[in-house]
Every structure is written in structure tokens, then in C-alpha cells.
Amino acid sequence: MPPTDPSAPSPAVVDLILPIKQMIVRVLMLEGVAPTDIPDDGPLFGAGLGLDSVDALELAIHVEEAFGVKMPDDAGTRRAFASVRALAEFVVERRATGAA
């Protein structure tokens, strides 16, 4: 059996990546962008998808509703918006710690 990659995302994170990408495209009405076009680890802001603070607020509201987690305005939440994978990891962590 080959060794596991410690940097590989958990199955729970993997299961959230596509639904989060689909939400980003749907909620932000990204015309011409398919969910599969969004890289798992690519930046969502700036040079990545080019999202802005209004997009972040809208996404935070939808993440709270769709995944049942709170997204307080703090540094941890800001880090969660670094990439789709970071956002999926944030949701899994919040659910695991009961900080929903």
C-alpha cells in the first residue's frame, strides 16, 4: 500500500469542492465560467477569479445558508476565502468543532 500524502485533502473536503465551485458560479453569476474551470487551490481574489469584497460578503451568506456554518468577520474567515480548497477545509473544520 503506497504511503498517503499528508497534504492531500480529506474525503470530506473533496466532497465539498465541486458544490462550492458550483455555488460560486451560480451566486456570483460568473458568465462563461464553468465550475470545473475554477482551480481547487487557485486564488479567488486578485489575480485568481478577480472577486472583490462584495463577492466575499455574498459568498459568506450563501456558505452559511448552504453548509450551516457561521462565518464571523475575522482573520480565520478571511483565510477561508483564499481558495476553494481553503473554503472547503474551513467548512469541514467548523462542522467538526461544532462551531456551526
Q: Give CA–CA dist 85/17, Å, rounded.
A: 6
For range 72-87, the mean pLDDT? 88
Residues paired with 36 in a beta bridge: none
Q: CB–CB of 55/24 below 8 Å?
A: no
Looking at residue 45, what DSSP letter applies? B
pLDDT of 49-70, one tens digit each?
Answer: 889 989 999 999 999 999 999 9
Residue 87, pLDDT score: 96
Q: Which amino acid is at 27?
A: V
Q: Give CA–CA dist 39/49, Å, rounded.
A: 10
**Domains (range + CATH), the chain:** 11-30+42-97 (1.10.1200)
Helix locations, 1-100, DSSP H? 11-27, 53-67, 75-80, 84-97
pTM, two decimal places: 0.87
